[in-house]
Structure 1
Amino acid sequence: MPPKYRDRDIVASFNGKWISWLHTAVAYTAFIGALAAGLSLHWHKIVQNEFYGWPQEWFPSVSATIGDHYPERSIFQLFIALTSGPRFALVGLWYVLTRRPNSTLPKFILGVGIFRTLTCGGWTYITSTDDHDWHDIFMISYLVSTIPWTFGVIAMSPKNPAAVQYRKYLSGAFYATIIPLVYFFIQHKVHHVAGAYTIYSFFEWALVLLDVGFDAVTMIEFQNFEIQVRDLKGISCGAGNKAVADAVLEKEGNREARAVFDNRFSWFGLFDAAADVYTGFVFWSMLTSLGLCVWYFPLWHMGISGYEVLVMCTVSPFLLGIGPLRYIFTRYVRVCHLLSLSGLLAYLIDDPANRLFAVGFGVWMSCLSWATTFYGERSQTHRLEARISAFAIGLILSSLAKFAFHTNNPIWPIMHGPNDGWNKTGLALAVVAVLLSTRSTASSGADLPAPGLTKGSAILTAFGIAGLFFSMHSLLSDSSTMILWVWEGYPVRGPLAVPHGAVTLLAMGFGLLIGLFTPSLARSWMFYGIGSVGAAVLTTSKHWTGYYGALVLAVYTMAAAPVLLGQAARHSPAKTFGIGFLVYNFLVLAHVWIVAYAFVPGGPLMREHTDWVMTAMMLCIGAGVFSLSAQPPSPKAKGKPTTPNPAARKQRAYYVYVLVFIELLAISVAYLRFPSYNYTPYHPETKSITAGIWTVHFSLDNDMWSSERRMRDVIRELEIDVMGLLESDLQRIIMGNRDTTQFLAEDLGMYVDFGPGPNKHTWGSALLSKFPIVNSTHHLLPSPVGELAPAIEATLDAYGELVDVFVFHSGQEEDPEDRRLQSEFLAQRMRDTPRPAILLSYLVATPLQGNYHTYVGAKSGMRDIDPSDWDRWCEYILYKGLRRAAYARVSRGTITDTEIQVGKFVVGQPEGSDDVIPEEQVPEGLRFPALFRGQGVRGHRYHVFDEPRYYA
């Protein structure tokens, strides 16, 4: 066919590489030009941050350079605007270069490239000074889209070794730079290290250079393009120009780098995988809510209530031992999954007992449904792998949801509209997900065997399943659990729930990929040994060392899931899953007994033995590995595992896509939730500290709803600067693996110390403070007979003066010797501090009697906030070295079973007298809010005295 145009029709032409050159030059000019102008005109201003300036900080961050001052901001915005043209051209040319028939990936990367360019414009022209939230949204979107852009470009790169190598080097350096970037940002933001922000700034600028440099590599491929402008009607004066082509792009079969980017990509396949994962998310949401709902009843009965028997509803897979029932459940597994959604409907039931029964039925059906699903898919390996992937990724999604919602799962039955539950949305999505994911099964009721021989012990496999489920539930169902295991107070010497919760989620995802892609490693004794070492390090160590053990254990647990669940599906489901869930239940009870030993039969035998529970967990997993060792591995060809067939490879890819998306969300949540650490007290003009103590009863209110938001409201309205919380450790299966302090600290703008961690066997103490926590020590007070008594001893920087705050929960009334020893220990700690001090406590003492005189008086050096208040038994506020200004008792409403006690103190003034004065004589900033007078608000009011007391 003759060419449509002649050479003389070409009025202009240029080589495609100049688009890359122009994009690179203009982009670098935008940043470097703004930096040069900033250093020349506003050096001291742009190196100043919230904590330090010149000379501690001497090099500016990118955001300070490009967004805060004129003309730097204008220079940057001008050249970035000029960059947009070649940027869109670069993205378009890359699509032209890499597109091929029946391939969706180039179109996807084209969309990512356009989206990334638009979001760059968003954070460029909306600075943090203009609108901090939208600036962050555009910035996060840009950074998140960078990940699929870089990996997609590398995967589609034509066969040019130099270009691929450059891209790998630049992208590797880009992602490696993020690690020290985050480290020095935390050093600056959390630890307030002088000069850390300058070092952070260098890594931030390095990211900019590497990001632009990655796209500059396209000039290698684009030099084979010629861009031509043709005059179709001969209207230009340059009709005779001759085109000059540097090279012609040769046709070559570009095989993509990874099998997950298969050219038969289907959006329907991706939606099916997402639906499957969401069904797994629903299972973990219901399972993690069961113990939480059961816990409500012994909590209010202060002992065994009888409702605890519902923890056994997980053993429903035993029904699969009956042949006709197994056939029915396998054939109608969709009905089973739909019936299990009663656990999500439970939020509609107000009565706690009936709500628990609905949750129990949902968990019963859900455990039965998933055991049936695994068994029903066992005849087709790739379908079984897909279900296992959905089950495991569902756990990661559940943990991510809790990470995003401050450790509450938004579809739990303790959530509803008033406390920001997403129950209706969650239920609607669950129905759609179940209908999509259960359209068919491999067996449809027939008892089809798994391929190959089935070896190994079903009983040992059941123990492996028990250990696996217990590890997943107790340690991985919340991203902050293991972080709080290794937390030891201030200064920070280890990971933080935010942002390092995202690291835990990344480790879980990495472990699952190991289990899917290298099952021989996941089932090996060597890897089991590594996982066991990780468990031991987590149990015995703290700070970063303990967390490294936690990450190893997270990787191992998730890697073991595909091989252990795959082995369990080969045997009778009644044995593997029925017995497995039964043994899991005993591990859960042991996990409770180690801290609840004072209230349960045989409790003293398990007292403080987390090490026993962890050992039992790993031995159970080891039993499963032993059973696996008898099972012949997958067939091999030429010494290498057989490559999955195209259908299986494509199906696996969809689950990997979903997993990658979840991990990107985790990173985004970590960024969005990172604390600002710029907190101020309510009345700095008075140099006052409003301090409160509250026993919060594990953040479940009288009607079994999560109470964090109601707690937040009353703490904010009382204008409390320093809050001691007791009975606040929720990081156990029976309490949902939650952490109330995360929400309260972030929403109220306060520093937080969690107190002795969940592996310290206490009911918990926590400290919230508007003032920086300079140092804190966690104590376990002498408790030879009864339950352990936790205490926090913290030093706060209050208006430039150091003030010690003690938060303490003493032993129970039944253990007088414990309480005597504890009073002596704490009295010595309070007496020994040379600084002003406040005690926020639960003492179990009668005013002016017994141990009260150890806490108050010469032995401790502390004064009672109001010695005339005779109507106290548990909560007390003591002080020394500060002027006591006011004291109030506030009713609890329906949040918990204990009132709030609040005191106001003035820093830098003598203690004063016990004389009570009228409110009119008190400065406005030292008065309690009038909101709680009379009937108060939402059940909270001043009571006992019916009004606050003020002192001279």
Structure 2
Amino acid sequence: MAKDKDGVVVASFSGKWVSYSHTLFAYGAFFSALIIGMSLHFHKIVKNEHYGYPDEWFPSVSATIGDRYPERSFFQLLIAVTSGPRFALVALWYMLTARPGSFAPKFVATVGLIRTVFCGGWVYITSTDDHDWHDIFMIGYLVLTLPWTLGCLTLSPMNVTAVKYRKILAGLFFGTLVPLIYFFIQHKVHKVAGAYTIYAFFEWSLILFDVGFDAITAYDFAGFEVRIVDVQGVSKGSGNIALADAVLEKSKKRSSSLSQQLLGGSYSWADMFDAAADIYTGFMFWSVLTSLGVTVWYFPLWHMGISGYEILIMTTVTPFFLGIPAVRQLIVAQPGIFYWLSLTGLGAFLIETPEPRLFLVGAGVAFSCLAWAGTFWAERNNSGRLDAKISAFSLGLILSSIAKFANQTNNPVWPIMNSINGGWNKTGLVLAILAVLRSSRRTPTSSDFSALEQKRVGGSSTLAALGLGGLLFALHSLLSDSSTMITWVWEGFPIAGPIPAPHGAYTIAAMGVGFLIGLFRPAATTTWSSWATASAAAALFHNKAGWTGFYGALILTIYLMALVPAFITACTRYAPGRTFGLAFLFYNLMVLAHVWVVAYAFVPGGPLLRERTDLVMIFTMALLAIGVYTCQLSLPPTELSSKYSKAATPDHRKLRSYSIYILTILQLLSVSVAYLRFPTFDYTPYHPQEKLLTAGIWTVHFALDNDMWSSERRMRDAIKELELDVVGLLESDLQRIIMGNRDMTQFLAEDLGMYADFGPGPNKHTWGAALLSKFPIVNSTHFLLPSPVGELAPAILATLDCYGELIDVLVFHSGQEEDVEDRRLQSLGIEQIMADSKRPLILLSYLVTKPKEGNYNTYVSEKSRMRDIDPSDWDRWCEYILYRGIKRVGYARVSRGTITDTEIQVGKFLVGQPEGGDVEIEEGAVEEGLRFPEQFKGEGVRGHAYHVFDRPRYYA
């Protein structure tokens, strides 16, 4: 037996056999299942929800290893055997790369262990067993592949062959994701025959590249002899030079390497928690600020005009108080006091009455703006701490956007949320308390309490404030929700552009890219060429629809996020009260302009900005140009460049690296949410056996109920219990600062299993129209009806595939009562749209007319060929259902409860049958499957009941 100084070696083998066995068993598991499945169940495993053989002729990974015997058993058996070599591979990699005090090897090893456990989760819990947990484990495995791959590349020993193959396989793996996603969307959304087969080839390629990437460790583990003894000294640390170091030796010194800044040196979990606490306080700021508009909006909404509560938008200008020496001294010495006071905004949900809840939100905004402005100024002489605070501010915005992305555009800690409607307010408040406790332990480094002696710089505080005000407005109006810019470029079906899920993750990824540019290359953002590029992107975004417009939006997103460090740093060079106070004042003016473009009919001077979103965009870019000019005067290029130079201190680099780690986590979370929210597009109507279509119209008052709570879930319950297959929603455009940059259709469509068409977008200046449908939307067109004086009237004309027959549905919101000529012109426009339709048609509308009077006779006319669902219903003014070419079997009016100020009107139609007559029949003569739900009779449920007739009406 061999001996060493510690004893006798009973057996030994080369470490490369760990890699060999892992590769052999992993490939064996997948490809044995593929061979057996193709041999025994070929036609079953190539079939998907749309097509089978011969359109589809190669199975996906999930179909192959799923529920069929015996391929599933072969796969699970060999994967179980693979687990031993897998854990050994992770352990050997850690031994190979570990160095004293180095954080990265521990991080990568932890990722490898968790990733292995997640692999076992999705292998042994199939989608049939538990679909949610299968997806959770699968997503966890996929997202952890990114840090595992990048970590292994960064820490790879300087073995030329291993490095080369790792780069090739990593590039192939991530490159394959692009066509993989493309063909999956072609299959799932566009239902292209054969697309799933091509997708399957790319999916199997990922298996090859993933396992192959780990197989490269055989080159490195050849230096290990498993007794376990390191026979070549590769684990001693001194000889273990990371790949990033080897590459860097050819270009620059190791101390300036980005990889070394992020992965080298010692790390402190305490410092990491401090960074996380700062970022959560940034999340608190953006959560409270974005909640102010929607809580203020509640009051003019119910007053139908200026209510007086709008003055609370001025609570953002509290940084003016920094001009008072005593206040400035207090906030510099004890910033925690103001962060504590800002928690009133998050705790406002505890108050049920709208007015005091609004005042608490206003107080939270006031203290939060003051706290952050004071902190920025107080840290002006410590570039590392200022950098960390600015990063927390930016990452807080990204976290806020992700929270809304995960919660279908509602921030779960807003004061319009609670435990009933999907809020996580208590959890958010507890985390906020912990974050403030931790972050308030440290006070700013500045000791200058007395005067405003600043370094002499060019420019002026007013110019700096103009730039920052424009940037704050742009960040809030466009990036506080990942779907806002998507709704700007959306033009209906067939889908020719991004959709909120999964493409909201693209917006968040662009925000991350912009953050990194601002963090490491701030000087690049304050050039006129960058501003010109961003201006061109803004023009593209504003003027083009679909992917073309969205590409412009992504470029603009990157630019806006990249500007944050330079603009805030520039503002700290001037008197804080005047600079930050004016910045928020200019931000408020831009918010008002942004509201005035659509609310012109209800506000003084509104016509001056009527439908002029183009002017708002031009003003925004002009303000950013002023900010760029100020940065060039107040921040010398050498100073901005030094933020990423060897002059940066180790602590500075360490603080920056924590931000990168947290950004990575946030991006992985965003990708996970996108995967979980990917629509299924496999929806089923409520009564397919009867070929019944139940349609409804509802004016939903911007998804705020009578008591200022978000109402999507209550709306969901009413729509589901009424068994609506198609529903038109009016007053549904929430993608503005005053409505919280929300989109009610996302939650409703995903929860109810319906296709959604968000009508003319926010850049079309309407109060919104939306269509939800259990039936596929074959095509849809958005209209803006003539409105020379009053508010714009939106309409959606959609063609639905209803049980194989094409039926048109028109959703329309007429102008307000005061604008008589507008409503007349709009009635003529809708009449023409209906006349031009050659198919059966249902109008779900808000007409503002009395039955059989005035414009009613234009909507119901020989030219339109439309019939009223119930001509005898005299008690209507706003909502109407008209139809033609389809058999009407029932009509009901359902009270609104406390959700909104307008009832729900519902019609039932039989597809494929002629119109029929106007003879009313008793419910007993109607088939049970065609009847309205019983629970809305009498007192009804939750305030919803049949009313006016006290029962539904049925027709022969």
In the superposition, the TM-score normalised over structure 2's length comes to 0.96
Amino acid at match of 1:429: L
SS state of the match for residue 483, structure 1?
Answer: helix
Structure 2 spans left out of the alignment, 5+ residues: 245-258
Letter in 2 for 1:553: L
Kindly indicate whether residue 508 of structure 2 is the aligned counterpart of residue 505 of structure 1. Answer: yes
Cα distance change of structure 1 residues 459 and 76 upon mapping to structure 2, 3 Å threshold: same
Following TM superposition, by how much is the alpha carbon of 1:924 offset from its aligned partner in structure 2, in angstroms?
A: 0.7
Q: Which moved more, 1:303-312 or 1:76-85?
A: 76-85
Q: Distance in 2 between matches of 1:836 and 1:472?
A: 45
**CA RMSD of the aligned region, Å?**
1.9
C-alpha separation in 2, matches of 1:434 and 1:261: 28
Moved more, 534-543 or 626-635: 626-635
| Amino acid of the structure 1 residue aligned with 2:367 | M
Q: 1:909 and 2:913 equivalent?
A: yes
2:697 maps to which residue? 693
More deviation, 361-370/521-530: 521-530
Tell me if structure 2 keeps the 8 A contact 1:635–1:642.
Answer: no
Deviation at 1:229, TM superposition (A): 7.8
C-alpha distance after superposition, 1:778-830 (max 9, x if no partner) = 00011111111000000000000001000000111111111111111111111
- 1:168 to partner: Cα distance: 2.1
The alpha carbon displacement at 1:262 in A equals 2.9
The match for 2:72 is 73
CA distance in 1, matches of 2:696, 2:672: 34
Q: Which residue number in structure 2 is paired with residue 238 of structure 1?
A: none
Greater mean deviation of Cα atoms: 472-481 or 177-186: 177-186
Kindly state the Cα deviation for residue 458 of structure 1 after the two structures are TM-superposed.
1.5
Q: Does 1:191 align with 2:190?
A: yes
Residue aligning to 2:529: 526
Does the CA-based 8 Å contact 2:642-2:648 persist in structure 1?
no
Q: How far is the alpha carbon of 1:172 from its aligned partner?
A: 2.1
CA contact (8 A) 1:224 1:249 kept: no
Residue in structure 1 matched with residue 277 of structure 2 by the alignment? 275
Q: How far 1:68 sits from its partner (Å)?
A: 3.2
Matched residue, 1:606: 609
Question: Deviation per CA, 1:888-926, whole angstroms, max 9, x where unpaired?
Answer: 000000100000000000001111111110000001111
Match of 2:353 in 1: 351
- Cα deviation for residue 638 of structure 1 reads 12
C-alpha contact 1:380 1:450 (8 A) present in aligned 2: no
The answer for the alignment partner of 2:100 in structure 1 is 101
Instruction: Give the corresponding residue for 1:237.
Output: none
The aligned residue for residue 305 of structure 2 is 303
SS in 1 for 2:357: helix
Q: 1:755 aligns with which of 759, 775, 788?
A: 759
Residues 520, 644 of structure 2: 8 Å contact kept: no
Q: Which moved more, 1:51-60 or 1:31-40?
A: 31-40
Q: Which amino acid aligns with 2:301?
A: L
Say whether the 8 Å CA contact 1:329–1:445 is kept in structure 2.
Answer: no
Question: Aligned in 2, Cα 1:639/1:61: closer, same or farther, shift over 3 Å?
Answer: closer
Once the two structures are superposed, the pairs formed by residues 310-321 of structure 1 within 5 Å of their partners are 310-321=312-323
Describe the SS at the equivalent of 1:725. Answer: strand
Mapping 1:142-221, distance limit 5 Å: 142-221=141-220
Report if the CA contact (8 A) 1:223-1:246 is conserved: no
Moved over 4 A (4+): 2-7, 244-251, 447-453, 635-640
- Counterpart position of 1:790: 794
Instruction: State the alpha-carbon separation in 2 of the partners of residues 675 and 445 from structure 1.
Output: 55
> What is the match of residue 17 of structure 1?
16
Aligned: 1:47 with 2:46: yes
| Distance in 2 of aligned mates of 1:672 and 1:253 | 40
State the partner residue of 1:339. Answer: 341
Structure 1 equivalent of residue 715 of structure 2: 711
Structure 2 contact 797–808 (Cα < 8 Å) conserved? yes
Decide whether aligned partners of structure 1 residues 638 and 136 sit closer, same or farther in structure 2, where only a CA change above 3 A counts.
Answer: closer
Task: Report the 3-state secondary structure (helix = DSSP H, G, I; strand = E; otherwise coil) of the residue aligned with 2:873.
Answer: coil
Pair 1:469-2:472 in alignment:
yes
Distance 1:449 1:151, change over 3 A: farther
Post-superposition offset of 1:253: 4.3
SS in 2 for 1:680: coil
Q: Residues 799-810 of structure 1: matches in 2 within 5 Å?
A: 799-810=803-814
Q: What are the Cα deviations for residues 569-605 of structure 1, in whole angstroms up to 9, with x where unaligned?
A: 1211112211111011010000000001111111111
Aligned AA (2:241): N
**Deviates most, 756-765 or 821-830:** 821-830
- Deviations, residues 506-550 of structure 1 (Å, cap 9, x unaligned): 100110100000111122221111111111111111000000011
1:437-457 Cα offsets, whole Å, 9 max, x none, are 122211256369899753332
Q: Which of these residues, 518, 541, 545, is aligned with residue 544 of structure 2?
A: 541
Shift of 1:21: 1.5
**Does structure 2 conserve the Cα–Cα contact (< 8 Å) formed by 1:595 and 1:787?**
yes
Aligned positions, number: 937
* SS of structure 1 residue aligned to 2:812: strand
Match of 1:290 in 2: 292
Is it true that 1:226 corresponds to 2:222 in the alignment? Answer: no
Q: Judge conservation of contact 2:325–2:451 (CA < 8 Å) in 1.
A: no
Amino acid at match of 1:138: F
Per-residue deviation, 1:39:
1.8
* Whole-angstrom CA distance in 2 between matches of 1:450 and 1:166: 58
The question of whether the paired residues in 2 share the 8 Å contact of 1:379 and 1:451 is answered with no
Superposed counterparts of 1:450-461, under 5 Å: 454-461=457-464
Partner in structure 1 of residue 395 of structure 2: 393
What whole-Å deviation, never above 9, does each CA across 1:744-776 have from its counterpart, x for those lacking one? 001111110001001100000000000010100
Tell me how far 1:107 sits from its aligned partner.
2.1
The SS at the match of 1:685 is: coil
Alignment of structure 1 residues 321-720 onto 2, 5 Å: 321-439=323-441, 440-443=443-446, 446=449, 454-630=457-633, 631-635=635-639, 641-720=645-724
**Partner amino acid, structure 2, of 1:254:** I
Q: Supply the distance in 1 between the matched residues of 2:232 and 2:585 (Cα, whole angstroms).
A: 72
Residue 900 of structure 2 corresponds to 896
* 1:694–1:645 Cα change, 3 Å: same
1:262 partner letter: G
SS of corresponding position for 1:226 = strand
Q: Name the structure 1 match of 2:248.
A: none
Q: Distance in 2 between matches of 1:322 and 1:636?
A: 30
Q: CA-to-partner distance for each residue in 1:303-349, whole Å, 9 max, x for gaps?
A: 11111111111111111112222112221211011111111111122
CA 316–803 in structure 1, closer or farther in 2 if over 3 Å, else same: same
* CA distance in 2 between partners of 1:791 and 1:496 (Å): 20
C-alpha spacing 1:600/1:247, structure 2 compared with 1 (3 Å): closer
Find the counterpart in structure 1 of residue 256 from structure 2: none
Query: CA separation in 2, counterparts of 1:170 and 1:655?
Result: 28
Q: Any conservation in 1 of the 2:832–2:864 contact (CA below 8 Å)?
A: yes
Change (3 A) 1:451 1:506: farther
1:800 maps to a residue whose letter is: G
Contact 1:281 1:394 in 2 (8 A): yes
Note if 1:252 corresponds to 2:255.
no
Matches within 5 A, 1:128-143: 128-143=127-142
Deviation at 1:637, TM superposition (A): 9.7
Q: Deviations over 1:372-427 (max 9, x none)?
A: 01001111001000000000100000010000111001111111122121111111
Distance 2:391 2:287 in 1: 17
1:678 CA drift (Å): 1.3
Which range moved further: 78-87 or 739-748? 78-87
Cα shift at 1:245: 7.3
After superposition, the C-alpha distances for 1:280-303 in whole angstroms (9 at most, x for unaligned) are 000000100111011111101111
SS in 1 for 2:262: coil
Contact kept? 2:342, 2:364, Cα under 8 Å: yes
| Separation (CA, whole Å) in 2 of partners of 1:427 and 1:639 | 34
In the alignment, the residues of structure 2 paired with residue 81 and residue 382 of structure 1 have an alpha-carbon distance, to the nearest angstrom, of: 48
In the alignment, the residues of structure 2 paired with residue 639 and residue 278 of structure 1 have an alpha-carbon distance, to the nearest angstrom, of: 24
Instruction: Give the alignment of 1:79-98 within 5 angstroms.
Output: 79-98=78-97
Alpha-carbon distance in 1 for matches of 2:450, 2:613:
42
Question: Once the two structures are superposed, what CA deviation does each residue of 1:132-169 show, in whole Å capped at 9, x if it has no partner?
Answer: 11111110111121122111111211122332232222
Does structure 1 retain, via aligned residues, the 8 Å contact 2:15–2:223? yes
User: Displacement of 1:680 after TM fit?
Assistant: 0.4
Of residues 83-92 and 582-591 in structure 1, the stretch that sits farther from structure 2 once superposed is 83-92
What SS class does the counterpart of residue 419 from structure 1 fall into? coil
- Write out aligned runs for 1:703-852 (5 A): 703-852=707-856
Unaligned runs of 5+ in 1: 231-243
Shift of 1:118: 1.4
Q: How many angstroms apart in 1 are the aligned matches of 2:678 and 2:307?
A: 41
Q: Structure 1 residues 430 and 638, CA, compared in 2 at 3 Å: closer, same or farther?
A: closer
Distance 1:641 1:449, change over 3 A: farther
Q: What's the TM-score once normalised by structure 1's chain length? A: 0.96
Cα distance in 2 for residues equivalent to 1:89 and 1:450: 61
